[in-house]
Chains A and B, each alone.
Chain A
Amino acid sequence: MVLGLVNGAFYALLSLGLAVIFGMLNVVNFSHGALFMMGAFVAWMLLNWLGIGYWWALLLSPLIVGTFGVLLERLMISRLYKLGHLYGMLLTFGLGLIIEGVFRNEFGSSGLPYSPPPEFRALTVDFGFMILPGYRAWVVLASLIVCLATWVVIEKTRLGSYLRAATERAELVQAFGINVPRMITLTYGGGVALAAFAGVLAAPIYSVNPNMGSNFIITVFAVVVIGGMGSILGSVVTGFALGMIEGFARVVYPEASATVVFVIMAVVLLTRPAGLFGRA
């Protein structure tokens, strides 16, 4: 169950990033998994090459990967807005392949270890019936905080209201003198930074390897289909809920744990094709 909650934390962060990017850019970011993996690798590189520890990496890695995302958006993705959805998807899929391939060449396919910061060792709680490793509790907490912060920024601040307005009617917002293209770029950077943040959080739990992103992202796509990409809060709730269901399945019937999310997706498609929180 706890492992499920941890997975849920990652699903929530990743599907949140996808939803934010989709809302603004109308592009499904198929390179999201690769950028998640990149976040973990940047943390590893910061530690092993520059001696920068976990806490700084948690801040720096999303910044670095987010900047990379801004470059991608400016140089490539921005050229495709006038075309159909599918080209954006194909482009980001190709970008994901490139990123993954480069890291696989550089670091091989086997995992690299990244140990959790020592502060957490003391925090491990023993409930008697189960042991909650401190680091995992932190992952869930951190993910919740960041998801809530994102929600507050988008729903409650002026910047967020511009963002939501631009999602609805970009030309009109631009007519009010707001630089919409820059907002789009920053949104992409922000969504990517969320993926990288998740990557740093994941680094100590899973070994850092080039395939970690693609394994995750397909499940996250299913989560997105279940939740619908219309709502920020919806994608967070769906992410956590599905992580927990998956964790529960792992205890009850381990063979099904890998597929339970997809089965739920099928059921949702049959009953509510637009997704639980989606608008048709």
Chain B
Amino acid sequence: MADGSGFSPAPAAAKDVLFGFTLAQLLAFGLMVAFVVISPFILYPVFLMNVLCFALFACAFNLLIGYLGLLSFGHAAFFGMGGYICGHLAKVLGLPPELAIIAGGLVAAALGAGMGWLAIRRTGIYFAMVTLALAQMVYFFCLQAPFTHGEDGIQSIPRGKLLGFFDLSNDFTLYWLVAGIFLAGFLMIHRIVHSPFGQVMKAIRENEPRAISLGYRADDYKLIAFILSAGLAGVAGATKSIVFGIATLNDVHWNMSGEVVLMTLLGGLGTVFGPVVGAAVIITMQNYLAEFGAWVTVMQGGIFVICVLAFRRGIIGEIANFLRVRL
């Protein structure tokens, strides 16, 4: 895709210092970990867990748009489905939370395999429309399937005990689990992007025909990336359903797909830390502006418009550009 190159900030020739991180990235990562560790002592842990779930969701989404140039407008399907599966297993079958979350991620990845198999046949705008339409189909499925309880959603999902030992009904204990899942997911995405597989992904983004002519099966790479992205989005959704004890239609609705696009765009498409910052900003905004009701939608639309017209690199992208580093 020729226009995909617009998504990455100008690559600075920086040396990798540790595990594929450049020095600036390492500093930013340290800052992020410090924030994750310190913040629960200052801010409300449930709010922070919500931020972390969405941050992971946005990072998973960014794997496709940032490194493959594919804009999925259907990621809510994986996020919501992960939540439903996890909630159902934890509540009805009494599975421990760690297994329920893993199962949520696996089912979302399987769903991603199906959707991705269809969607990668097109690129660009058609890819976005196909994913949107397929996600809408998942939404209708969730509306009608008995185990999701339609409009009510799955309610009072038990938090359970991690590994049968740590009681997650304590917000703090649960917070460390969520933080662990988020950091593991974040590092996994970082690892994927900096692996040979990730390099091929970027090559496909920059010039697909050329990557194919070099002997890479672009479609296989796209499908695998799609499955990974869907699975991580499912883990994020599953974790969220454990945190809040509910899984509802909201999480599969196309609004949610739009929100994750917005978070990633605001933070910076194709940056490592952008989706995390974008998620934090959007969730904070929703949290503190909830009293304004539908105006939040208007503001989100406004942020979209401002980002696209004036601010295409996003928050982290602009900072990285200003400091001339890669973040």
Contact = CB atoms under 8 A, between A and B. Distances in A.
A87 interface: yes
A224 B119 CA distance: 14
B45 interface: no
Contacts of A261: 133
Interface stretch (B232-240, B241-249, B289-297, B315-323): B289-297
A221 B303 CA distance: 24
Given A101-B301, A102-B298, A270-B118, A84 B4 contact: yes
Interface in A192-243: 214, 218-219, 221-222, 224-225
Given A87-B312, A89-B71, A218-B132, A95 B297 contact: no
Most buried by B among A86, A102, A258, A262: A86
A180 to B, nearest CB: 21
Interface stretch (A41-49, A75-83, A151-159): A75-83
A2 interface: no
B122 A273 contact: yes
A255 interface: yes
Contact of A91 (B71, B293, B304): B304
A229 B132 CA distance: 17
A261 B144 CA distance: 17
B140 interface: yes
A255 B261 CA distance: 31
A266 B134 contact: yes
B297 A97 contact: yes
A182 interface: no
Contacts of A219: 133, 136
Contacts of B258: 93, 97
B141 interface: yes
A199 B311 CA distance: 33
A14 interface: no
Given A90-B261, A218-B254, A269-B130, A105 B295 contact: yes
A89 B125 contact: yes
A239 to B, nearest CB: 15
Interface in B63-107: 71
Given A214-B254, A255-B144, A273-B122, A94 B302 contact: yes
B179 interface: no
A98 B262 CA distance: 13
Nearest to B294: A104
A28 interface: yes
A94 B130 contact: no
A111 to B, nearest CB: 16
Q: How large is the interface on A (under 10, 10 to 19, 20 to 34, 35 or more residues)?
A: 35 or more
Given A86-B124, A218-B254, A225-B129, A97 B298 contact: yes
Nearest to A255: B144
B137 interface: yes
Contact of B126 (A79, A84, A225): A225
A94 B304 contact: yes
Interface string A244-280: 0000000000010011011101100110010000000
B300 interface: yes
Nearest to A103: B294
Contact of A224 (B129, B140, B295): B129
Contacts of A255: 144
Given A80-B308, A91-B305, A105 B294 contact: yes
A73 interface: no
Contacts of A85: 3, 124-125
Contacts of B295: 101, 105
Contacts of A86: 3, 71, 124-125, 128
B297 A221 contact: no
B305 A95 contact: yes
B304 A90 contact: yes
A28 B294 contact: no
B3 A94 contact: no
Contacts of A266: 118, 134
A225 B74 CA distance: 15
Interface string A178-198: 000000000000000000000
A258 B133 CA distance: 11
A17 interface: no
Given A87-B312, A89-B128, A259 B137 contact: yes
Nearest to B312: A87
A104 B300 CA distance: 14
A76 B254 contact: no
Nearest to A224: B129
B214 interface: no
Contacts of B128: 28, 86, 89
A76 B305 contact: yes
B298 A101 contact: yes
B309 A222 contact: no
Contacts of B304: 90-91, 93-95, 97
B294 to A, nearest CB: 4
Nearest to B129: A221
A93 B121 CA distance: 23
Contacts of A101: 294-301
Contacts of B6: 83-84, 87
The 9 A-B pairs at the shortest CB distance, nearest first, are namely: A94-B304, A84-B3, A97-B301, A101-B297, A98-B301, A101-B298, A262-B137, A222-B133, A221-B129
Given A83-B312, A86-B125, 4 more contacts: A83-B6, A90-B307, A90-B308, A105-B294
Interface of B: 3-4, 6, 71, 118-119, 121-122, 124-126, 128-130, 132-134, 136-137, 140-141, 144, 254, 258, 261, 265, 293-305, 307-309, 312
